[in-house]
Amino acid sequence: MTRTLIAGNWKMNGLKASLGEIRDAAAGVGQGKAGVEALLCVPATLVSLAAEATHGSALKVGGETCHGAESGAHTGDISAEMLADAGASHVIVGHSERRTDHGETNEIVAGQAAAALRAGLTPIICIGESLDQRKAGETLEFVSSQIAGSIPEGAKAEEIVIAYEPIWAIGTGEVASPEQIDEVHTAIRSRLAERFGADGAGLIPLLYGGSMKPGNAAEILEVTDVNGGLIGGASLKAADFLAIYGQAK
């Protein structure tokens, strides 16, 4: 059975003063519920503090990116090993904002995901099309190419998570329709089955990201092959994050 994951992505938000929200989220998650995992991915400056704040609860802490190398002359970067050492269990790789702002290619993302696995972290590998690609009818072809290029060789199905985030819906208030989500998630599962077999593909949580909020989460989470969400702004407030977590099955 595919596990469900509700993951927050704080992006470049959060100071020490924000730890209260993390503690509230941890208290709300408590010991968790069967089959549903809860995760907050926070800026690197907060990973260690967040891990302390969530200790004893089922709420996990993750990073928002990592470098492919274990160490070295990479000023300003953070390795997967550093995140694990700080208390992270997961890391987001390949988010469209990283692909766009930092020129991260599928090859780079695959290297980051491999680094996460090397360090014992679960990589959340992000894929998704632009509005122009959707209008041109290129969504499935583009997403399939990202899957093929961003999952590292040797990765096992039970070790990874895939997040589909249509770029045109990230932080815009726009949300893909249930029909659009269903079409893409079905195609993703099919591509994964070609690589990992049907049983293996069924072990990989497929998250939807793109303006998921308490008010639309239930409808999205009911879509076949949606196994959770990668949530941006709505994860910054414990009440909103917990409202979405509470709707997950």
CA atoms 68, 99, 215, 221: torsion sign = negative
Catalytic residue among 67, 81, 90, 95: 95
Strands 206-209 and 161-164, sheet pairing: parallel
Which residue among 37, 81, 97, 165 is the active-site one?
A: 165
Q: Residue 72: helix, strand or coil by DSSP?
A: coil
Q: What whole-number distance in Å separates Cα of residue 25 and Cα of residue 173?
A: 23
DSSP-assigned letters across all residues of 166-220: -GGGSSSS----HHHHHHHHHHHHHHHHHHHHHHHHTTS-EEEESS--TTTHHHH
| Residue 74 bears catalytic tag | no
d(CA 92, CA 95): 7
For residue 221, how many C-alpha atoms fall within 13 Å in the half-sphere facing its CB? 23
Q: How far apart are CA 75 and CA 103, in angstroms?
A: 17
For the four alpha carbons of 171, 139, 42 and 79, in that order, the dihedral sign comes to: negative
Do residues 225 and 4 make contact, with C-beta atoms less than 8 angstroms apart?
no
Contact call for residues 16 and 51 (beta carbons, < 8 A): no
Measured from the Cβ of residue 144, the count of other Cβ atoms closer than 10 Å reads 17
The residues annotated with a catalytic role in the active site are: 95, 165
